[in-house]
Amino acid sequence: MASTLEKFIHSLDLRALPRVLQIQSGIYCQGSVYEMFGNECSLSTGEVIKVIGFKINKLIASICENNEVSQFSDKVELPLNFPGLYKVVADKTPYVSIEEIARKVSIGPTRFGHPCFYSIKDIKLANFTIKRGEQISFNSVEEVHGTMAVNCVVVRNNQSHSFTLPLSQEGEFYECEDDQIYTLKEIAEWKIPKCRNRIVKLSNTLHMWDSSNPLPENFDGCLILMPIYEVQAVMKSRKDIVRILSDLDVEVKDVTDCYDISSFLQPLSLEDIFERTSKEFPMAAEIMEGPSGRQRPYNLLSTGKEIVIYKKYQAARVLASEMRSDPSKRHYLIPMSYKGKFKRRPREFPTAYDLEIARSEKEHLHVVATKAFTSPHKELFSVSVGDQFLVQQCQTSEVLYEGRKKLIDVLACEQILSDSYKKVLLPMYMEGGFVEVIHDKKQYHLSEICKEFHLPFNVKVSVRDLSIEKDVLAAAPGLQFEEEITDSYLLISSASSPVESWEIPVYRSNMLVCLLSKDVQTVVPPVTRTTVEEVSEEEYYMLRRYENLTLHPPPRPPKKPT
């Protein structure tokens, strides 16, 4: 049965992809040419295309009043990179089954993909009862004993309880309130259910209002977002990916069951390649859609080029940022193979607690106070601007407070005087300001810094990496090494001239390939070139957010006794 492309997308389960569609009718028929993102394609009546994916391309927004479109509101088009931070308003329309939730809501491996719902009635399982109104986190969908189910978690009395709910489970499920804030792009990727609009509340604007802003000046209300999808498809006559907007006025018919789907090219993302077993590597592939970027190696990975993918692996990187306060601060991922050398730069510490975290057994941490602090206890030291200290260790000390002795955490230091040292105690809760005094003139490799010092750590390049054509780190006034992360990579080289190989990040390279049946001549990869990867502001915050999910944050500094 024929339907509009928009209705087909709304009814489609992502897990059912790919699907083969035949163009039935519409204004873009009879061999007319449709152009999208510079790609021209002919959508003739009877044309067959294979849909391999779809995603939200843009959002149509209307000002919302009382959960309805305001009668005075015009519809405006918002790109996914439209600035601002938004809160998601919980959907008041219920879901009638777990299957409906799994089909319409994005459930995935990151915290964005863990939507929360509650049931208005108790749900009794074999050895567990979910109470009505209790928040259920949906973490993943998988097959359990031959039945599709959702892996769920309920937190009760600070204890996590894991269980599965079959897709066949019926009930009345409502979305829970979400107190997180998101960018518009994050909402489009994770927080808009299929066949539904989404209401969001503007939480914080990221730029000053100007006349080009489609929203009213000083607007801080709610918006109803209606998604327009971009359909990614393959045509028999082409080797590249065709993109078609879902609101295109064309009718289609699903002919998957009566068509040989293998007769189309099979585009694979780098994530798809990474999910293959290690035994399948190395493999030959042709690039169907190259990554964006002018720096090497991305400028070498153009559409139509044949490549060899040697292996997949996890590799360590150090996330670094330029030491500057202006908005143009740049961020980098530095591989451990970086051959340049670094000299230390002074670190700044806002509290005595930060001094305790940064101190090392190898050397005394020498700091100068940049902010005065008056101690409320005569047993503890009052700090003046310019005082110098050698940080010793954390310990406890008794102080007299309102006539009673109280035990608190303190930092033992030696105050540096003109001709002697004085032992002093600083309260760990002290909010002061300190800057490090560097005596170490040694030049360090990246791996040495990660091994010998705590991050964050401030440096400047003293010897650039001569193996890199243009070492961007050498031009930085100073760098702060923020944390060491582990990321997924594929090792790739050109098939025609395999003189060097490159590490390509799996989750930050928007690239599609199709595998070739050719045998790989060179099993051993050529020399791997070191690449310092510059990451965007958005990628930087995503990296820090995902990485920090796996780390236990340090305890908060002790509070001043009350």
* One-character DSSP codes across 227-239: EEEEEEEEETT-S
Is there a single domain that holds both residue 255 and residue 284? Answer: no
**DSSP code at position 467:** T
pLDDT in tens, the chain (562 residues): 788 888 888 888 777 888 999 888 754 433 444 554 444 556 778 888 888 888 888 899 988 877 666 665 678 888 888 888 889 999 999 999 999 999 899 888 777 889 999 999 999 988 889 999 999 999 988 888 888 999 999 999 888 999 999 999 999 999 999 988 888 888 998 899 988 889 999 886 555 555 567 777 767 788 999 998 888 888 876 667 788 888 888 889 999 888 887 778 888 889 889 988 888 899 999 998 888 766 667 777 888 899 999 999 999 999 999 998 777 789 999 999 999 999 999 999 988 888 888 888 778 899 999 999 888 888 888 899 999 999 998 888 888 877 788 888 889 999 999 889 999 998 888 877 899 999 989 999 999 999 888 888 999 999 999 988 889 999 998 999 999 998 899 999 998 888 889 999 998 888 889 898 888 877 788 888 888 999 888 788 777 755 444 444 444 555 555 5
Q: How many CB atoms lie within 10 A of CB 449?
A: 17
In a domain, 186, yes or no: no
Q: 257 with 274, same domain?
A: no
Domain shared by 170 and 208, yes or no: no
In a domain, 8, yes or no: yes
192 found inside a domain: no
How many Cα atoms within 13 Å fall on the side-chain side of residue 484?
A: 15
Q: Which of 396, 413, 435 is the last residue of a domain?
A: 435
Measured in degrees and rounded to the nearest 5, phi and psi for residue 452 equal -100, -15
Same domain for 46 and 116? no
On whether both 357 and 426 belong to a single domain, the answer is yes
Q: 113 and 256 share a domain? A: no
**Residue pair 503/489 in contact by the 8 Å Cβ criterion:** yes
In a domain, 62, yes or no: yes
What is the DSSP code (8-state) at residue 212?
Answer: T
Domain ends where: 243, 266, 289?
A: 266
Residue 290 DSSP class? P
For the beta carbon of residue 96, count every other beta carbon within 10 angstroms.
Answer: 11
Residues 320, 212 within the same domain: no
User: Which letter does DSSP use for residue 194 in this model?
Assistant: T
Domain boundary at 402, 435, 468, which? 435
The phi and psi torsions of 535 (rounded to 5 degrees) equal: -115, 150
Write the CATH number for 412: 2.30.30.40
Q: What is the CA radius of gyration of the chain?
A: 29
Range of the domain at 411: 348-435
Side chain identity at residue 510, one-letter code = N
The CATH number that applies at residue 102 is 2.30.30
Asked whether residue 188 is domain-assigned, the answer is: no
Question: Helical H runs in 344-477?
Answer: 352-358, 446-452
- In-domain check, residue 116: yes
334 and 474 part of one domain? yes
Cβ(104)–Cβ(193) below 8 Å? yes
Judge whether 137 lies within some domain.
yes
Q: Are residues 428 and 444 in the same domain?
A: no
363 vs 424: CA distance, rounded Å: 19
Say if 387 falls within a structural domain: yes
Both 326 and 450 in one domain: the answer is yes
User: Is the same domain home to 34 and 100?
Assistant: no
Query: What H or E segment, with its residue span, contains residue 24?
Result: strand 19-26
**Pair (394, 513) in one structural domain:** no
Total domains in the chain come to 4
